[in-house]
Structure 1
Amino acid sequence: MNEINNNHSMFSLYYHLVLVVKYRRKVIDDTISDYAKDMVVRLGENYNISLVEWNHDIDHVHILFKAHPNTEMSKFINAYKSASSRLIKKHFPQVKRKLWKEYFWSRSFCLLTTDGAPIEVIKQYIENQGMK
Structure 2
Amino acid sequence: MSEIYKNRHSAFNLHVHLVFITKYRKKILGELHHKYFNECATEICKDFDAELKECNGESDHVHMLIQYPPTVQLSKLVNNLKSVTSRRMRNEFLDLRGNYTKPVLWSRSYFAGSCGGAPLEIIKQYIQNQQG
Check whether TM > 0.5: yes
Aligned residue type for 1:27: I
Which residue of structure 1 lines up, in the alignment, with residue 39 of structure 2?
A: 38
CA distance in 1, matches of 2:87, 2:10: 37
What is the percentage of aligned positions where both structures have the same residue?
32
Deviation string, structure 1 residues 51-77 (Cα, Å, up to 9, x no partner): 111111000000001000001111111
CA distance in 1, matches of 2:98, 2:48: 33
SS of 1:54 mapped into structure 2: strand
CA distance in 1, matches of 2:105, 2:99: 10
- Larger Cα-atom Rg: 2
Which residue of structure 2 lines up, in the alignment, with residue 108 of structure 1?
A: 109
Deviation string, structure 1 residues 18-69 (Cα, Å, up to 9, x no partner): 0000000111111011111111111111111101111110000000010000
Which residue of structure 1 lines up, in the alignment, with residue 92 of structure 2?
A: 91
**More displaced, 72-81 or 18-27?**
72-81
CA distance in 1, matches of 2:26, 2:98: 10
Contact 2:22 2:61 (8 Å CA) reproduced = yes
Deviation string, structure 1 residues 58-111 (Cα, Å, up to 9, x no partner): 000000010000011111111111111111111100112322311100001111
Which residue of structure 2 lines up, in the alignment, with residue 29 of structure 1?
A: 30
Taking structure 2 as the reference length, the TM-score comes to: 0.83
SS of 1:116 mapped into structure 2: coil
SS of 1:43 mapped into structure 2: helix
CA 1:6 to 1:116, structure 2 compared with 1: closer, same or farther past 3 Å? same
Whether 1:5 aligns to 2:6 is yes
Residue segments in structure 1 that go unaligned for 5+ positions in a row? 119-132
**More displaced, 75-84 or 19-28?**
75-84
Contact 1:16 1:63 (8 Å CA) reproduced = yes
